[in-house]
Structure formats: structure tokens, C-alpha cells
């Protein structure tokens, strides 16, 4: 497990502005502090409308992966698909779940973000899907299916639009159902589509069919054999700390980790917790290169400790581990920060070896000849 703290005192230089703390603040931060401790994921208390809705929501919640590879839409290639579902708090949209769907080898970049809502229609259970209307909301939600405890509290129902309903009925230990009508679609020559789903606490099975203007099948996914998702809780690693730092690791490489004095090259995006981007290496057209550990905020420093080429992570940094009550350029005081970081390269620097204890420098040089 990679450590998430730095043993040397941190002087806390700002990541973006390069402004140092005042002498008093620097002295305060130099005081020894207890090492942060890993903690378990908190229990999320959600007030669902009734017991059946709560049961269905709990069965859907989790990290899932297809039990077999599936053909990627519009291609001849096959891949594993990952789906993460977590509770969501959205004003005006009760019983909501947030969903991310991605290639299993690229979970940091979901190709679909959606909301599931469980509700009653004429007393019967329904699952409604929503897509995101606001690109900033999509940015704010990235990764939140894995860390629902920091789900943005600023979102409202107005930022989503409904796309499909599925009527659900109890089915054995779980639920199953299908769309009561066809819904508009535009992919692969289709003009409308239907969906069906079944799920229990152990699996989710999905079938989708698209129809062209003549009513013929334009495309289908799982019509003969539904696409099955099974639990995959170890697909993405989440490290939570008792001081609020959360490091979600989507890709973890262990070879040649960065060490003090090495140069590390990263691509990153820095944003506020509401999705507002305030800095990114991509905007400058080149990765960010610096000598490790560098003068970064504490949350960044701890997250990248032991990072290797190819590592990819999303880091939730609570305000005290970022800029605290200071305002830094476009970052208001007391702001929680989210960093998306990918290590592009680690330039190893050979460490000079000094003379052994009791040995002079000249003696060491002579023995090395």
C-alpha cells in the first residue's frame, strides 16, 4: 500500500500561484502532527420513500463488471465494461442513484454518466433514467459513484433530463422489468429503443434493442443472452483518511515509484467540488514537470507519494489540506479541491553516495576506482 503522508515538515507552497504561507503559518505547519490513519468507508444514510424502494436501491448499489467481454458499440472489438452505482443527494429528485459506465480498463473516463431514480407510478415500482444536462455537473460528478460521501450537495433536478422508464416487479430475491414503451434513440440507424433489466444483490442483467424507421432491429445488446454484471469491489481502490483526504486510484502501477529528488511529470486537472475547473496542464498544452516532492499543498503531496508512470487517480482534498481559509486566484477561501492526476513519466535521479561512517571522502574515491 502506498503511504499518503510525508515525513518531512511541509511548508505548504500553493500549487498554482506559488505564494508561500506567512512565517507564522509556516512555523505552525512545521510542528509535528500525528500520521493520518486509514478509515473505513462511512455508512451513507439515505431516506428512501419505502422499504421496497430501499431494497431495490441497495441491490443496485456497488461496483460491477461484465462477467464476459461484450462487443463495443459501433466496433468489432470486445471489452469488459464497468458500472459503478452509488447513492446521490439531488434537490427535487428523491430516491436517486448516480451511475458511471466505463471500459473496465479506463474507469477514470466514463463514457456514460446517468441518474437512476426509483419511484412509484400508480402505486407500482418504476426505475427512471436521467442524463446530465450541464457539462459542469458532469465534471463535478466524475468518480462520485465510488465516493458518495462527498457527492456534491449543490445539484438540483433541473440539471438532469429523463430518458427512459422501466416498470419493475419483484422477481425471486430481486427485481426485473422492461420499458413500458419505446423511447427515442439515434445510434446505429435506430430511431427508438427498448430496455429490460433484472437484478439481485449478486448480479445485474441488461438487454437493449434499437429499432429503425421500419420497425426492424437496427442493433441489439443482450437480446438473446442478457449482458450480466457481477460485483467487482476491487476494481477501483479508494483510500480514505481520518483527516478527510480521499484517494481514488483507477490505475495502480508499482514499478519505479517516484522518490525524493526525482522529477515527476504529470497531467492534471484541478477543480472545485462543484466542478468549476481552475487549472489544468492540458490548457497549457504540456504536462507539469517538477522535482519531487515540491512545494505542493498537503493533499497533493500525500496523494502522489510513491506514484509510478501510468498511475491514475482522483484526489478529494478537504480545505485544511488545500489552501484553507486563504483565497488563491480562482479558489475561494475554505474550498474543497478535487485533483485528477495521471503520472506521465518519472525521471529517476541518481543519488550521490557519501563516504561510509569513519571513512574520508578520499578513501571512498580510491575504493571506487
Domains of the chain: 23-37+242-347 (3.10.50.40), 51-231 (2.40.128.590)
Residue 356: pLDDT band with limits 50, 70, 90:
low
Residues 193-223: pLDDT tens digits? 999 999 998 999 999 999 999 999 999 887 6
Lowest pLDDT segment from 77-81, 95-99, 168-172: 77-81
pLDDT score at 24: 40
Is residue 34 within 8 Å of residue 54, measured between CB atoms? no
Share of the chain above pLDDT 70, in %: 85
Residue 49 backbone phi and psi in degrees, to 5 = -65, -35
If you average pLDDT over residues 283-292, what whole number do you get?
A: 92
Name residues whose C-beta falls within 8 Å of residue 343's C-beta, 6 or more positions apart in sequence. Answer: 253, 258, 264, 265, 266, 304, 307, 308, 309, 310, 311, 312
Reading the block at residue 30, the C-alpha cell is: 512545521
pLDDT score at 294: 87
If you average pLDDT over residues 67-91, what whole number do you get?
A: 87
pLDDT score at 222: 75
pLDDT score at 275: 92
Q: Which residues pair with 340 in a beta bridge?
A: 269, 314
For the cut 90, the answer to whether the pLDDT of residue 352 exceeds it is no
pLDDT score at 359: 57
pLDDT score at 231: 97
Site of grid cell 498511475? 311
Residue 354: pLDDT band with limits 50, 70, 90:
low
Whole-number Å distance between alpha carbons of 356 and 66: 56
CA distances from 120 to 97, 153, 319 (A): 16, 24, 40
Amino acid at each position: 500500500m502506498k503511504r499518503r503522508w510525508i515525513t518531512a515538515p511541509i511548508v505548504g507552497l500553493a500549487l498554482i500561484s506559488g505564494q508561500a504561507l506567512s512565517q507564522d503559518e509556516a512555523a505552525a505547519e512545521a510542528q509535528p502532527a500525528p500520521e493520518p490513519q486509514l478509515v473505513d468507508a462511512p455508512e451513507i444514510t439515505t431516506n428512501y420513500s419505502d422499504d421496497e424502494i430501499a431494497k431495490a436501491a441497495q441491490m443496485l448499489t456497488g461496483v460491477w463488471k461484465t462477467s464476459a467481454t461484450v462487443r463495443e458499440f459501433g466496433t468489432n472489438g470486445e471489452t469488459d465494461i464497468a458500472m459503478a452505482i452509488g447513492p446521490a443527494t439531488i434537490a427535487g429528485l428523491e430516491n436517486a442513484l448516480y451511475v458511471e459506465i466505463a471500459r473496465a480498463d479506463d474507469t477514470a473516463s466514463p463514457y456514460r454518466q446517468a441518474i437512476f431514480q426509483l419511484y412509484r407510478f400508480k402505486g407500482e415500482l418504476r426505475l427512471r433514467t436521467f442524463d446530465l444536462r450541464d457539462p459542469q455537473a458532469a465534471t463535478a460528478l466524475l468518480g462520485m459513484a465510488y465516493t458518495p460521501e462527498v457527492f456534491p450537495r449543490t445539484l438540483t433536478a433541473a440539471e438532469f433530463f429523463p430518458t427512459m422508464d422501466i416498470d419493475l416487479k419483484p422477481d425471486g430475491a430481486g427485481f426485473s422489468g422492461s420499458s413500458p414503451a419505446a423511447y427515442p434513440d439515434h445510434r446505429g440507424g435506430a430511431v427508438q429503443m427498448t430496455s429490460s433489466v433484472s437484478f439481485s444483490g449478486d448480479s445485474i442483467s441488461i438487454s437493449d434493442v434499437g429499432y429503425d424507421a421500419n420497425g426492424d432491429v437496427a442493433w441489439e445488446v443482450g437480446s438473446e443472452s442478457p449482458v450480466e454484471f457481477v460485483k467487482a469491489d476491487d476494481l477501483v481502490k479508494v483510500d480514505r483518511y481520518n483527516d478527510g483526504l480521499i484517494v481514488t486510484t483507477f490505475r495502480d502501477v508499482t514499478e519505479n515509484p517516484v522518490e525524493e529528488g526525482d522529477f515527476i511529470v504529470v497531467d492534471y486537472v484541478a477543480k472545485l467540488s462543484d466542478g468549476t475547473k481552475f487549472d489544468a496542464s492540458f490548457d497549457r498544452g504540456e504536462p507539469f514537470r517538477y522535482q519531487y516532492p515540491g512545494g505542493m499543498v498537503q493533499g497533493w503531496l500525500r496523494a502522489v507519494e510513491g506514484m509510478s508512470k501510468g498511475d491514475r487517480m482522483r484526489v478529494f482534498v478537504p480545505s485544511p489540506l488545500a489552501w484553507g481559509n486563504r483565497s488563491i486566484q480562482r479558489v475561494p477561501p475554505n474550498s474543497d479541491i478535487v485533483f485528477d492526476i495521471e503520472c506521465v513519466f518519472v525521471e529517476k535521479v541518481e543519488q550521490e553516495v557519501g563516504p561510509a561512517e569513519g571513512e574520508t571522502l578520499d578513501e571512498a574515491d580510491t575504493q571506487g576506482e
